[in-house]
Amino acid sequence: MLKKILIAFAVIFSVGTVRAELKVDIVAGAASPIPVAVQKFEVIGNASKKDAAMIREVVEKDLKSTGLFRIVNHDAFPEYVKMGQMPNFKSWMAIKAQVLVQATLALEDGKYKLEFYVWDVNGKEQIEAQSLVASKKSVRRMAHIMADAIYERLTGEIGYFDTQIVFIAESGPVDARVKRMAIMDQDGYGMRYLSDDKTFVMSPHFSPNMQTVVFLSYRDDDPMVWTLDLDTGAARRLGQFGGMNFAPRFSPDGTKIALSLVKSGITHIYEYNMEDKTLRQLTFGNSLNTSPSYSPDGKKLAFNSDRSGRQQIHVLDLETGVEERITYGNGRYATPAWSPDGQFIAFTKMADDTFFIGIMNPRGRNEKILAGGWFMEAPSWAPGSRRLVYYETEKALDGMERISHIRSVDITGQNIYDIELPDDVNGLEPTWSPKLP
């Protein structure tokens, strides 16, 4: 049966589809990628052949980027199957394709209509059929939504292609670097600036509904937390807290913001209630406490503290006030980030003159290092909790400037890749958005 998704100011309708037998194991890092064949799109009426080719290319790149799928070479295709016709499954099996994707692109009443079918070649059945309708300017989003649908059908997990990343874009000479807040699609496309080049900004994070970004701004040399409305561009200072505040993070329901606040030379974590404008202190003592991250249910808060003598990760139960240290490994631990499914906490680790990005369970056990290098920090989760984004700065050689990359890695520690940025831009402090509304 057919699902209909209307993008941009449209209503979403959906119905169930045939239950798929084909499933991809997203945990087994050594598993062979599933071969996927994406046919050339049928173009109907006045629809653009260039746009049809672009959608196909984006879908293929999205799927390939996961490391779970291999895109079958177009020259190897044994036939062209028109929509409504049954594929010759033996022919597709002969080239070892396990998934076949067909699509048509039509222009109706000034809007694009994209229809696609997904076939399980070995099972000889259609496992997905969808119809997407969108304005012509949203054609690239259609591609990401199509890739998400295929990914979700084959893995059973939440897709993450129709998402964005907000980050700090650094440019200029090394002795006069400019840091601006920027946003882009998860594949690096469409980067645009959210702040000017006159104000130093840091630590951007999305609200759960994607309407707001909270960040640290040094406007007028006064380091304070601000919010930015992504629809209107309006920036507002969060509040007057009587001290430097930084490291903001939204609660899962979007009603609160956890942040670090410095008072009398001591840094503690507070929770600001957006509805009644009240501030509640969460940590106490004489130690430095920062980098808060809520659990998905909003009941706990992970943070790093030096109360044990060196930086370690602790978890605070927001209902009981009970705190527990969860890291005891060699080195220092920082920047915890709770996964959307609640199964992992990502972290930055510093040991043996090396920085690492890793994950562990919420009790601090089963630690797994995903990446290591000269300097890396700020892990952030994609929807579905399979991939993370972080930034890595290369060690500068003599006479060369340091370069910072935004990188993505999956929970197996494999399939690391750079997210492409303009040549003159370094990427720092990335945060992955929820799926776009």
pTM above 0.95, yes or no: no
Residue 437 lies in a domain: no
User: Are 24 and 60 in the same domain?
Assistant: yes
Res 396: pLDDT: 77
User: Are 287 and 407 in the same domain?
Assistant: yes
User: Are 13 and 94 in the same domain?
Assistant: yes
User: Are 169 and 316 in the same domain?
Assistant: yes
User: Are 102 and 31 in the same domain?
Assistant: yes
Total number of domains in the chain: 2
pLDDT digits (tens, 9 = 90+) for 110-124: 999 999 999 999 999
Q: In 318-395, which ranges are E strands?
A: 323-325, 332-338, 345-351, 354-360, 368-373, 375-381, 387-393
pLDDT digits (tens, 9 = 90+) for 84-108: 899 999 999 999 999 999 999 999 9
Whole-angstrom distance, CA of residue 139 vs CA of residue 128: 20
Out of 98, 128, 155, a domain closes at 155
Res 331: pLDDT: 94
Res 25: pLDDT: 58
The conformational region for residue 242 under phi > 0 = left, psi -120 to 50 = alpha, else beta, is left
Residue 130 lies in a domain: yes
CA distance between the termini of the chain: 24
Res 217: pLDDT: 92
Instruction: List the pLDDT tens digit at each of the 437 positions of the chain.
Output: 444 444 443 333 333 343 445 666 555 554 689 999 999 999 999 999 999 999 999 999 999 999 999 999 999 999 999 998 999 999 999 999 999 999 999 999 999 999 999 999 999 999 999 999 999 999 999 999 999 999 999 999 999 999 999 999 999 877 788 899 999 999 999 999 999 988 889 999 999 999 999 999 988 778 899 999 999 999 999 887 878 889 999 999 999 999 999 988 899 999 999 999 999 999 999 999 999 999 999 999 999 999 988 999 999 999 999 999 999 989 999 999 999 999 999 999 999 999 999 999 999 999 999 999 999 999 999 999 999 999 999 987 765 678 999 999 999 998 999 999 998 899 999 999 999 98
User: Are 342 and 221 in the same domain?
Assistant: yes
Res 23: pLDDT: 62
Residue 186 lies in a domain: yes
Query: CATH number for the domain including 313?
Result: 2.120.10.30
User: Are 134 and 246 in the same domain?
Assistant: no
What backbone phi and psi angles, to 5 degrees, belong to 58? -65, -45
Query: CATH number for the domain including 93?
Result: 3.40.50.10070
Neighbours of 333 (CB within 10 A): 29
User: Are 111 and 174 in the same domain?
Assistant: no
Domain coverage including residue 270 = 164-432
> Within 13 Å of residue 246, how many CA atoms lie on the same side as its CB?
16
User: Are 99 and 228 in the same domain?
Assistant: no
Out of 155, 177, 201, a domain closes at 155
